[in-house]
């Protein structure tokens, strides 16, 4: 395979690690834990993995060794995130350090590989090709959920066939919830298969008091911030476009917030704030229009606006409208039989509540069509595909035209829309993510060697140099609560939303007026740097630094 000079150079990069992982390791157990909420329910569902202690790893004398060889299986689950390959490389190296006869099997195509017995033996030659690279293509990923006992039993079959002692699941909150369910089931069955999770998601919503950040968030935000900075440099040069930029992050606004801290746009919307203030779509439009008008008064008819992907679902009135549409149209044969968009639009308006009907009428026809015609297999609105940036451009343009007619606005409004998502998911990982992920993989091997199950591999103290990072394990049940999913209460890892009292958001809030005014304060982050001064190449996100400084 042909490689770029950067790929060749990165292949030889040796990730930095905590001192505790650089030799022989001992595990120190802390106090017993409880779930973040619904303790009685979670304990009842996970009697064998509930209440386990947090584990910290410390260096000890001697050479890492494990007398009996053992095999491990690894699964990449869910969307891609930079650094996944390094978790697998760390896992492989950790296993070989314990015993050269240990083997690592990769289940192909995500969790379905475990169920369908699709796998590959990962050798040193394969691993070396993927060191410090982006993507999940070493074994592929998938979104199959491990929830049914027949799936668990198929996993037992292949693990027994290959002599696999433990399964490592690299994924987000849902994938790690499934890992805990799997660990509990295997303990109940007494089959001797351990399960360890690793915290992955570029969205940044898998974090808590123990998990400081999920891997991939750092790299993805740096990629997006470079693009935003490039656009801002262009806007400040051409001086004629407003750029509406939608960023990944349906369930939380961490990416939008971090990119704002890195690039200082004129406006950054935060979904959680919109929800807390009970803002309407018109409120958001007026907020944007105010900044545009003020800048136009200074002859600045350009700027940047960051929009979280999930904004629509956080607007209370929009959420009610979407729920009404879901209830009304899911498997509705009468609606499906109607001919033409206009007939379907009139049918919808006749069935909605008065408030939702008024909101539906106010939406541009293209967005209204998406809400009613583009639906998933369950009949629900495909919210992630709604082009919120285009919706806002159309509504802002309409409002500015009204103001221009009254003489309240004399500027020129030209807008361009962007969506940054897939550009960041498979980028070559930053030094931070390369180091962090490799350490996560090494840590997982020590948890397995010690016989642990139902744990998530943990590396924290991440704003310090890598040598001072703290490795260990956190019980997955500690992060769980009960939530309604598809009409049933289920145990899930609690998602971390943007904390409106947290230091990162408060920093944004305190600088909003400054970033919006005529004294342009854009930052141009530039591309990720892999070689050079530590303060340029190895720094974690602004979010992480602000959060740790406030503690």
Note if 125 is an active site residue: no
Determine the 3-state secondary structure of 249 from DSSP.
coil
Percentage helix, strand, coil for the chain under 3-state DSSP, each rounded to 5: 45, 20, 35
Determine the 3-state secondary structure of 245 from DSSP.
strand
Q: How far is CA 172 from CA 48, 200, 220, 322, 500, in A?
A: 22, 5, 15, 26, 23
User: Which of the residues 203, 218, 435, 538 is marked catalytic?
Assistant: 203
Bridge partner residues of 345 (DSSP): none
Structure tokens at 268: 């950054």
Bridge partner residues of 169 (DSSP): 75, 197
β-bridge pairing 455-460 and 470-475 = antiparallel
β-bridge pairing 53-60 and 71-77 = unpaired
Q: Rounded CA gap, 374 and 475, in Å?
A: 40
What DSSP line would sit under 416-464, residue for residue?
Answer: EEEEESHHHHTSPPPHHHHHHHHHHHHHHHHHHHTT--SEEEEEE-TTS
DSSP run (H or E) holding 122: strand 119-122
Q: How far is CA 116 from CA 122, 151, 360, 367, in A?
A: 18, 9, 45, 40
Q: Please list, in sequence order, all residues whose beta carbon lies within 8 angstroms of the beta carbon of residue 250, skipping any fewer than 6 positions away.
A: 203, 308, 309, 310, 313, 383, 384
Q: What positions carry a catalytic annotation?
A: 203
């Amino acid at each position: 395979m042909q490689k770029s000079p950067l790929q060749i150079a990165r292949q030889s990069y040796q990730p930095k690690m905590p001192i505790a992982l650089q030799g022989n390791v001992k595990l120190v157990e802390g106090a017993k834990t409880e779930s973040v909420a619904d303790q009685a329910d979670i304990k009842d569902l996970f009697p064998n993995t509930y209440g386990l202690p947090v584990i910290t790893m410390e260096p000890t004398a001697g050479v890492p060794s494990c007398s009996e060889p053992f095999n491990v299986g690894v699964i990449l689950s869910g969307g891609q995130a930079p650094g996944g390959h390094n978790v697998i490389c760390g896992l492989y190296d950790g296993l070989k350090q314990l015993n050269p006869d240990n083997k690592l099997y990769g289940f192909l195509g995500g969790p379905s590989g475990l169920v369908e017995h699709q796998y590959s033996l990962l050798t040193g030659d394969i691993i070396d090709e993927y060191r410090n690279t982006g993507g999940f293509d070493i074994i592929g990923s998938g979104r199959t959920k491990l929830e049914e006992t027949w799936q668990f039993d198929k996993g037992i079959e292949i693990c027994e066939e290959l002599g696999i002692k433990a399964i490592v699941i690299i994924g987000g909150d849902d994938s790690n919830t499934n890992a805990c369910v799997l660990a509990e089931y295997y303990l109940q069955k007494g089959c001797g298969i351990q399960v360890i999770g690793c915290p992955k998601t570029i969205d940044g919503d898998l974090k808590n008091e123990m998990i400081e950040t999920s891997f991939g968030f750092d790299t993805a935000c740096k990629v997006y911030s470079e693009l935003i900075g490039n656009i801002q440099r262009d806007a400040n040069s051409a001086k004629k476009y407003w750029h509406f930029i939608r960023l990944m992050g349906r369930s939380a606004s961490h990416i939008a917030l971090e990119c704002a801290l890195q690039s200082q746009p004129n406006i950054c919307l935060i979904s959680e704030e919109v929800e807390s203030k009970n803002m309407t779509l018109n409120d958001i439009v007026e907020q944007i229009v105010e900044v545009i008008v003020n800048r136009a008064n200074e002859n600045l008819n350009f700027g940047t606006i960051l929009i979280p992907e999930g904004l629509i679902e956080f607007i209370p009135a929009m959420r009610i409208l979407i729920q009404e549409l879901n209830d009304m149209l899911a498997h509705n044969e009468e609606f499906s039989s109607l001919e033409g968009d206009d007939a379907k639009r009139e049918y919808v308006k006749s069935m909605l509540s008065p408030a939702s009907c008024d909101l539906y009428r106010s939406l541009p026809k293209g967005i209204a069509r998406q809400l009613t015609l583009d639906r998933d297999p369950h009949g629900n609105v495909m919210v992630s595909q709604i082009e919120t940036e285009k919706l806002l451009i159309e509504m802002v343009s309409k409002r500015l035209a009204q103001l221009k007619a009254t003489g309240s606005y004399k500027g020129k409004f030209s807008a361009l829309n962007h969506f940054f998502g897939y550009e960041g998911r498979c980028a070559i990982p930053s030094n931070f993510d390369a180091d962090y992920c490799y350490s996560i993989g090494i840590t997982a091997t020590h948890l397995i060697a010690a016989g642990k199950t139902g744990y998530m591999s943990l590396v924290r103290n991440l704003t310090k140099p890598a040598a001072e990072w703290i490795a260990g394990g956190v019980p997955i049940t500690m992060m769980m609560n009960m939530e309604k999913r598809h009409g049933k209460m289920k145990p899930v890892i609690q998602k971390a939303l943007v904390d409106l009292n947290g230091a990162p958001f408060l920093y944004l809030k305190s600088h909003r007026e400054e970033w919006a005014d005529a004294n342009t304060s854009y930052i141009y982050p530039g591309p990720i740097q892999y070689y050079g001064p530590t303060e340029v190449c190895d720094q974690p996100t602004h979010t992480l630094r602000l959060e740790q400084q406030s503690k």
